[in-house]
A = this chain, B = another copy of it.
């Protein structure tokens, strides 16, 4: 992303490390994993590590290891998630489970967790490893809560926010926090990094959930309505239901209902054209404002500017 220009050299070095992880392992076909990592993502999590480390002089090698670690941890969760959801496309590319056995995909996910843990440990910092382990626990607990939830129970906003906090915001927060900790930042600054990351992560996930209703399938690289298809009630639908308490969505979110796909398309259309979308954008903006407030408390420099730009950039797709 152009907003990352001031740290593009570091991000390229992170790419090299990520490629190294795949090519170092001869036990499995590297191609699907390489394409998963290559096609992949905006590298926001490694960027947060790098940006937060830039406020003090620190060991560049360790920063790169940590940045690669958080991206691998993220990739590991995607690998298992896609398997669990049965998703065949991610960012327009086939998922691992589209071409490999369940067994292979579970093991590759586990292996990526292990590599991520090893990279975190290579920072030789106990606080970093602790942040890593606790974030992994938060992510797993959140996934478990979701898996053992009643699939079609109407969720409250509180539940929704708790869920995206575990699933997404926790790793954003941990990435920024850990970058700060690694550079020796004091508590107040580390808290600001963490608050910036967390709020940015909340906004990021809300945006993702909005685009699942309003986005362009080609741009997204996956079908619209994916969350509904998995029985997942996200913020736009929650807000829609607050506005239309009598709307019957059961047949769209429950599996095995005849004509379900049509119901899903209908519901996506209803939500997309409702005031719920603008309202969800307002929520995303609220978190973005909070992330910028946290960043404003940091000493001014070009990296703080990138952090502020990144928060604004997230909302650009609204226009």
Q: A114-B140, A121-B130 are in contact. Are A107 and B147 (CB under 8 A)?
A: yes
Given contacts A25-B141, A110-B143, contact A103 B84 (CB under 8 A): yes
Q: Which residues of chain B have C-beta atoms less than 8 A from A122's C-beta? A: 130
Q: Residue on B with the closest CB to A108?
A: B144
Contact pattern, A 129-147, Cβ under 8 Å of B = 1, otherwise 0:
1101110110111011101
Contacts of A132 in B (CB 8 A): 117, 121
How many residues on the A side are at the interface (Cβ–Cβ under 8 A)?
43
Q: CB within 8 A of A143: which of B84, B107, B125?
A: B107
The 8 Å CB contact of A106, one of B28, B84, B101, is B84
* A141 CA / B115 CA spacing, docked (Å): 10
Question: Which of B27, B80, B141 is A141 in contact with, Cβ under 8 Å?
Answer: B27
User: Are B121 and A137 in contact, CB atoms less than 8 angstroms apart?
Assistant: no
Q: Is A187 an interface residue (CB 8 A)?
A: no
Tallying the copies of this chain within the complex gives 2
In the assembled complex, how far is the CB of residue A82 from the closest CB belonging to chain B, in whole angstroms? 12
Tell me if A40 is interfacial: C-beta within 8 Å of chain B: no
Q: Are B108 and A80 in contact (CB under 8 A)?
A: no
B111 and A137 form a contact (CB under 8 A) = yes
- Contact between B114 and A148 (Cβ–Cβ < 8 Å)? no
A114 B133 Cβ-Cβ under 8 A:
yes
The smallest beta-carbon distance between A170 and chain B, in angstroms, is 12
Chain A residues 94 to 131 lying within 8 A of chain B, measured CB to CB, are: 101-104, 106-111, 113-115, 117-118, 120-122, 124-126, 129-130
Closest to A145 in B: B27
Measured between C-beta atoms, what is the minimum distance from A35 to chain B in Å? 17
- Point out the residues of chain B lying under 8 angstroms from A269, CB to CB: none
| CB atoms of B107 and A136 under 8 A apart | no
Q: Does A29 contact B (CB under 8 A)?
A: yes
Chain A to chain B: the 3 pairs with minimum beta-carbon distance, closest first:
A27-B144, A118-B133, A111-B140
